[in-house]
Copies of this chain bind each other. A is one copy, B any other.
Amino acid sequence: MVRVGVIGATGYSGIEAVKIVAGHPKAELSYVTSTKEVGTPLAHVYPGLHRLGLTYEAFDPDFAKSKADVFLLCLPHGQAAAFAAVLLDEAHKVVDLSADLRLPADTYEEWYGMAHPQPELLASAVYGLPELNGDSVANASLVANPGCYPTGASLALAPAVAKGLIDLETIVIDSKSGVSGAGKTPTAATHFCQVNDSITAYNVGEHRHTPEIERVLTEISGEEVTVSFTPHLAPMNRGILTNAYASLAKDVTTAQVIDIYKSYYQAAPFVVVLDEGRFPSTADTVGSNDCQIGLLVDERTDRLVAISAIDNLIKGAAGQAVQNVNLMYGLGESAGLELLGRTV
């Protein structure tokens, strides 16, 4: 059993990690920390978890290392990297769910508006999108877990980019996210009365996940890719629907594109390429580690429409982190992650 510590388990990603690890057949949830809730039973913060019988512990590096083999850092960007620096050693591995290790230092500084907290870690950090670079993850000790939007967008576009199906200068990405993506801290933007029964775009043209998406697509294509990315806040708790639009560079049919995608994701246990005419609802993936993708070649406009759905907290965060742990420790990519999507 791999012993897993969840560092920062009061937030939405952290608590999702707790749930997944607690149900994992080959991993043990051995250490669960919080800054604000030290000594509080998890069930007082999340009453649905009473069955776990856990209490939040304080973070202490030495104690942490004695308790766990691998750490999932569910902390704000800017703070997480320092924990990674402290915890990482020969005997311990780290998956950082924050943005700290996903981008080159200069890009990080440009988009996050702060100096990179631990630039020396970047060289060894592997970007943990297993469908694209699972082999690197398997050999990594330090994994930068992808952002929620980049996960949905990258998986929607990767095969099309890799196979040269689309004109890379024409990519438009329009994503709709549930409110849990905005975090647990109450703000005017997450007040129920503000969000309920309404939809809005935010951070138009300047969302921090933009360079992360571009970096993934650039690495696949070998060319510099720039994308238009617009996120939205939709009145739902979880889930991201991402529509990616791009002009076709090849003459292909919907059926052919679907074949290409299915082939590309043949070994990917969590990507579901839907049959022609089918498109996902976010609900279909909520609660699961799946990414469902629907595809259309719009012959009227010679454009590809690729629509992906994920649960932002699972495939977009904690589930993908566990998927990375599975690869890092050879537990089987799907171990503990064969979760079903929402039915009602």
**Does A141 reach chain B (CB closer than 8 Å)?**
no
Contact B48–A199 (Cβ < 8 Å): no
As a 0/1 sequence over residues 221 to 257 of chain A, the CB contacts with chain B under 8 angstroms (1 = contact) are 0000011101010111111010101010000000000
User: Number of copies of this chain in the oligomer?
Assistant: 4
The dominant DSSP class at the A interface is mixed
Contacts of A281 in B (CB 8 A): 47, 198-200
A contact residues, total (Cβ < 8 Å): 83
Complex CA–CA separation, A201 to B282 (angstroms): 10
Residues 266-288 of A contacting B (Cβ, < 8 Å)? 272, 274, 278-288
Look across to chain B and name the residue whose beta carbon is closest to the beta carbon of A203.
B279
Binding site for B on A (CB under 8 A): 12, 15-16, 19, 22, 46-52, 170, 172, 174, 176, 178-180, 184, 186-188, 190-202, 204-205, 226-228, 230, 232, 234-239, 241, 243, 245, 247, 272, 274, 278-288, 290, 292, 294, 296, 298, 300-301, 303, 305, 307, 313, 338, 340-344
Cross-chain contact of A238 among B170, B188, B202, B344 (Cβ < 8 A): B344
Residues A272 and B50 in contact, CB atoms below 8 Å apart: yes
**Separation of A342 and B194 alpha carbons in the complex (Å):** 10
Query: Given A296-B205, A341-B48, do A283 and B197 touch, yes or no (CB 8 Å)?
Result: yes
Roughly how many angstroms separate A272 CA and B51 CA in the complex, as a whole number?
Answer: 10
